[in-house]
């Protein structure tokens, strides 16, 4: 090889080896984060990685001069700088709760279960028919604040004469945190019973949406909690137990996922610390109680834009370019770690079909046309709960059925109020249990 090319080739080779060393050490760091479950805010993995990297470099260059040894330590220094950002918090480590909403008072109730939850009350309108039983709303999440969009829908129900109560489930929104191990689906069910008992107005009508519908479904399978429920509305439920969670099947009509413009605004996942933490948790490589980030820090860091396409999946494809703003930055709250912990307890739970099969609480199932939920999650509830009296297949809406677009809120309210008043349904009773095979085969 001609001499003019020797030095550049050697330099390129050394640079390539340095890049390989940097990548290998970063991979080692991430592996140690997983193996140590992020112990010490990641410092255990960071110090071990640097120690191993420095020891290997010094051993391999033991016969070199000290200036050469220091040059060869440069990849270790680069890795130290890159990975240190994973160990340094940029969000407060003490929980910063959302500010108060301007249109409804926030109360705090301590439940018999030990949960301290944020409560919101929309009293019925003074004029017109007032319904005798309170209506309790369980939002989705599972550990998430109630969005402004949902609050507006609850106001609509109150204007129609319903005495509406809702609470943010433990750890969500303004409700106080629990130790991570206490976020379970059974705790959520017990909290529902304790909340209605705390109301002191007898059995309540309950509307559960998404993961809130899962809590309600499981409540109907528990006679002690079901005694607190007068009528149940199960809207767009997720999987109700472990066997249902393992079902992989079809979804509804196309949603806005992949079609809607990317959400704007700050993202915690653009910060290395939270990108690593939330990414590895979602992959199941870090536990929700990881030592990398604390629960409060993770809640403070997570932003609405971090939900990405999950928000778009709640709307029909035809609405992909006019998805409303569901919440304000000041009100948004989502606990990724606690939600994953609750979801895992559902996946680990045995079938509740035998218990649900003994339910006597009158219930209604609501299914959205463009639902991104697995259809069998919804039809399994219909098949197993003999007390479901009607199903309402909601055309023209996605998973988030009351979304403020067109007349969607009014149509959802009409379906809900007709059932609670035991009046004829505004839509056909479809699908029935007998319709389930054809409904799934038609890919509706």
**By percentage, how much of the chain surpasses pLDDT 90?**
81
* Domains (range + CATH), the chain: 3-87 (no CATH), 107-441 (3.40.50.1820)
Predicted pLDDT of residue 78: 86
Provide the 3-class DSSP secondary structure of residue 294.
Answer: coil
Residue 431, preceding peptide bond in cis (omega within 30° of 0): yes
Q: What is the arithmetic mean of pLDDT over 413-436?
A: 97
pLDDT at res. 339: 97
Asked if 385 and 359 count as a contact pair (C-beta separation under 8 A), the reply is yes
CA 324, chain centre distance (Å): 19
Do residues 143 and 183 touch, judged by C-beta distance below 8 A? yes
Query: What pLDDT score was predicted for residue 22?
Result: 81
Closest CA to 337 of 404, 282, 263: 282
pLDDT tens string 138-165: 999 999 999 999 999 999 999 999 999 9
pLDDT at 12 over 60: no
When pLDDT is cut at 50, 70 and 90, the band that residue 14 belongs to is low
Task: Tell me the C-alpha distance between 341 and 127, whole Å.
Answer: 44
For residues 309 and 410, the model is more confident at: 410
Report the pLDDT averaged over residues 7-31.
71
173 — phi, psi (to 5°)?
60, -120
207-264 pLDDT, tens per residue?
A: 999 999 999 999 999 999 999 999 999 999 999 999 999 998 889 999 999 999 988 8
pLDDT in tens, 25-44: 899 999 999 999 999 999 99
- Give the separation between CA 377 and CA 368, rounded to whole angstroms: 13
Residue 57 has pLDDT above 80, yes or no: no
pLDDT for the residue 241: 98
Instruction: Using the Cα atoms of residue 107, residue 110, residue 112 and residue 115 in order, give the sign of their dihedral.
Output: positive
Is the pLDDT confidence value at 287 over 90?
yes
355 pLDDT band (50/70/90 cuts)?
A: very high
Q: Average pLDDT, whole number, for the chain?
A: 92
Q: Is the pLDDT of residue 68 over 70?
A: no
What pLDDT was estimated at residue 17? 62
Query: Dihedral of CA 146/150/152/158: which sign?
Result: negative
- DSSP designation for 39: G
Residue 443 pLDDT > 90: no
Please give the pLDDT value at position 48.
94
At 80-117, the pLDDT tens digits run: 898 999 999 999 999 999 999 999 999 999 999 999 99
Decide if pLDDT at 69 tops 70.
no
Residue with tokens 């969000």: 91
Distance of alpha carbon 161 from alpha carbon 421, whole angstroms: 11
The pLDDT confidence band at residue 73, using thresholds 50, 70 and 90, is confident
Cis ω on the peptide bond leading into residue 253 (within 30° of 0)? no
């Amino acid at each position: 090889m001609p001499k003019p090319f020797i030095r550049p080739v050697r330099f390129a080779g050394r640079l390539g080896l340095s890049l390989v060393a940097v990548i290998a050490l970063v991979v080692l760091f991430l592996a140690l984060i997983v193996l140590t479950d992020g112990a010490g805010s990641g410092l255990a993995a960071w110090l071990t990685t640097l120690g191993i990297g420095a020891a290997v470099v010094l051993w391999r260059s033991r016969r070199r001069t000290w200036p050469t040894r220091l040059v060869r330590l440069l990849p270790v220094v680069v890795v130290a700088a890159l990975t240190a950002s994973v160990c340094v918090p940029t969000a407060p480590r003490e929980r910063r709760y959302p500010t108060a909403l301007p249109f409804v008072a926030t109360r705090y109730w301590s439940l018999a279960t030990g949960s301290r939850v944020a409560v919101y009350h929309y009293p019925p309108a003074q004029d017109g028919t007032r319904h005798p039983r309170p209506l309790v709303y369980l939002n989705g999440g599972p550990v998430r604040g109630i969005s402004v969009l949902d609050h507006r829908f609850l106001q609509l129900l109150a204007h129609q004469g319903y005495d509406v109560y809702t609470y943010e489930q433990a750890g969500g929104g303004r409700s106080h945190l629990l130790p991570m191990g206490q976020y379970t689906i059974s705790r959520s069910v017990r909290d529902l019973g304790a909340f209605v008992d705390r109301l002191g107005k007898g059995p309540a009508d309950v509307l559960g949406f998404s993961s809130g519908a899962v809590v309600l479904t499981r409540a109907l399978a528990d006679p002690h909690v079901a005694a607190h429920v007068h009528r149940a509305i199960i809207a767009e439920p997720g999987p109700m137990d472990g066997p249902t969670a393992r079902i992989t099947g079809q979804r509804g009509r196309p949603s806005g996922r992949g079609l809607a413009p990317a959400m704007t605004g700050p993202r915690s996942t653009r910060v290395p610390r939270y990108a690593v933490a939330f990414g590895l948790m979602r992959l199941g490589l870090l536990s929700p109680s990881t030592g990398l980030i604390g629960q409060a820090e993770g809640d403070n860091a997570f932003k609405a834009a971090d939900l990405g396409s999950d928000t778009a999946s709640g709307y029909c494809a035809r609405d992909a370019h006019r998805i409303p703003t569901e919440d304000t930055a000041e009100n948004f709250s989502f606990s990724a770690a606690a939600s994953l912990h609750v979801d895992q307890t559902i996946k680990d739970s045995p079938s509740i079909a035998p218990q649900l099969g003994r339910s006597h609480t009158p219930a209604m199932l609501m299914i959205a046309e463009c639902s991104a939920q697995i259809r069998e999650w919804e039809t399994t509830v219909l098949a197993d709960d003999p007390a479901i009296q009607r199903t309402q297949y909601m055309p023209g809406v996605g998973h988030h059925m009351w979304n403020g677009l067109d007349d969607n809120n009014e149509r959802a309210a009409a379906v809900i109020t007709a059932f609670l008043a035991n009046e004829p349904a505004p839509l056909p009773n479809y699908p029935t249990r007998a319709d389930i095979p054809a409904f799934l085969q038609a890919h509706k």
